[in-house]
Amino acid sequence: MKYFTTVNDVHSVKDLVEDALHFKKDPSCFSNFGKNKTLGLIFLNPSLRTRLSTQKAAMNLGMNVMVMNLDKEGWALEFEDGAIMNGNKAEHIKDAAAVIGQYCDIVGIRCFPGLLSRQEDYSEKVLINFMKHCSIPVVSLESATLHPLQSLADLMTIQETWNKPSKPKVVLSWAPHVKALPQAVANSFSEWMVKSNVDFTITHPAGYELNEEYTKGATITTNQQKGLEGADYVYVKNWSSYMDYGQINCRDEAWMLTKEKLRATNQAKIMHCLPVRRNIEISDQLLDGPDSLTLLQASNRVYAAQAVLKKLIDYRIPEGGNVRVTMGKEKNLS
């Protein structure tokens, strides 16, 4: 695997989850695998979990790690091909990514959407340009549209806590928020769930429909109570409107997940990727209660990243060819 940017980059989701669970049992089982290899972690946006868990995963594999908050510590980046750089952008992505590729064996990048132009955000301009010009394996640390490391840890969390022969019912439930947030976590959770052995429902207010590219196969309802009926897992997340791009069209506090709402569920476990706005998205009572899996999800981020980094270290350029830079469609160009 040269790229980890979407579930479609993964040959076998089942095997990758098993690898992650194996790393959880024995974190140092490949402690020399990344020896003398360098991971670069490039952040254009804030992070707590992704930064620390990916760094720890690399350390467990014996890798060296360099971290850079490129938005604050680097030069302002130009992305347009052929730009006459007479403005305030000091460095072209072509040069910045190519240089980072010289210093690292694998690079991770976090690049949130601007939420101003759907076309621009969904083109993944930053991530794709980075992949194109750095020439080394790339792991997404959350892009404009997807957050695959989070979704792998989420799937791992569901798998390790589910011990019945039947499929669990998993519900992604929209929650209110004070800010307009990306759709990335919701898109990503959905694209991983529809590829997994779960019964998957999404519930959100009208106007919060996600891009169908990620939700095909899910049951979708604007009736939250109906969506929650019989749920074994409720994944709570806010996202801004995809249709009315980047806007907040609903601030209805009634969508917050509370203990009362859970009566319709099958004693559901509560999930959230964090950071969470307490008592806006989910009540304290649920977050601090025995059915909250949020800490387990955060803990599993280390082992999910470890499984992914091992696959990226394993990558060898195919004989006689390069690999085309397209998210989820790795192809031999020879």
Q: Are 225 and 262 in contact (CB under 8 A)?
A: no
Residues 183-242 that bind ligand CP (CB under 6 A): none
Q: Which stretch binds ligand CP (CB under 6 A): 48-56, 92-100, 116-124, 316-324?
A: 48-56
List the alpha helices (DSSP H) in the chain: 13-25, 49-60, 70-73, 93-103, 118-122, 125-134, 148-161, 184-193, 212-215, 224-228, 284-287, 294-314
CB of 150 to ligand CP, least distance (A): 5
Q: Which is nearer to ligand CP, 138 or 273 (CB)?
A: 273
Q: Which is nearer to ligand CP, 2 or 237 (CB)?
A: 237
Taking CB under 6 A as the rule, does residue 90 contact ligand CP? no
* Residue 275 preceded by cis peptide, ω within 30: yes
Q: Which is nearer to ligand CP, 30 or 214 (CB)?
A: 214
Q: Which is nearer to ligand CP, 43 or 214 (CB)?
A: 43
Q: Which stretch binds ligand CP (CB under 6 A): 41-49, 195-203, 225-233, 256-264?
A: 41-49
- Count of positions on this chain that bind ligand CP (CB under 6 A): 9
Three-class SS state of 1: coil
Considering only 150, 183, 201, 265, the residue that binds ligand CP (CB under 6 A) is 150
Q: Which stretch binds ligand CP (CB under 6 A): 21-29, 45-53, 171-179, 257-265?
A: 45-53
Residue nearest to ligand CP (CB): 50
Q: Are 298 and 199 in contact (CB under 8 A)?
A: no
Q: Which is nearer to ligand CP, 1 or 274 (CB)?
A: 274
Taking CB under 6 A as the rule, does residue 48 contact ligand CP? yes
d(CA 322, CA 307): 24
Taking CB under 6 A as the rule, does residue 50 contact ligand CP? yes
HSE of 186 in the Cβ direction (CA atoms, 13 Å)? 27
Q: Provide the CA 177 distance to its chain's centre, in angstroms.
A: 19
Q: At what angle do helices 294-314 and 13-25 cross, to 10 degrees?
A: 110
Q: Is 149 exposed, middle or buried (0-12, 13-18, 19+ CB in 10 A)?
A: buried
d(CA 324, CA 127): 14
Considering only 49, 169, 261, 269, the residue that binds ligand CP (CB under 6 A) is 49
Taking CB under 6 A as the rule, does residue 274 contact ligand CP? yes
Residues 110-149 that bind ligand CP (CB under 6 A): 142
Considering only 4, 19, 20, 47, the residue that binds ligand CP (CB under 6 A) is 47
For ligand CP, the binding residues (CB under 6 A) are 47-50, 142, 150, 273-275
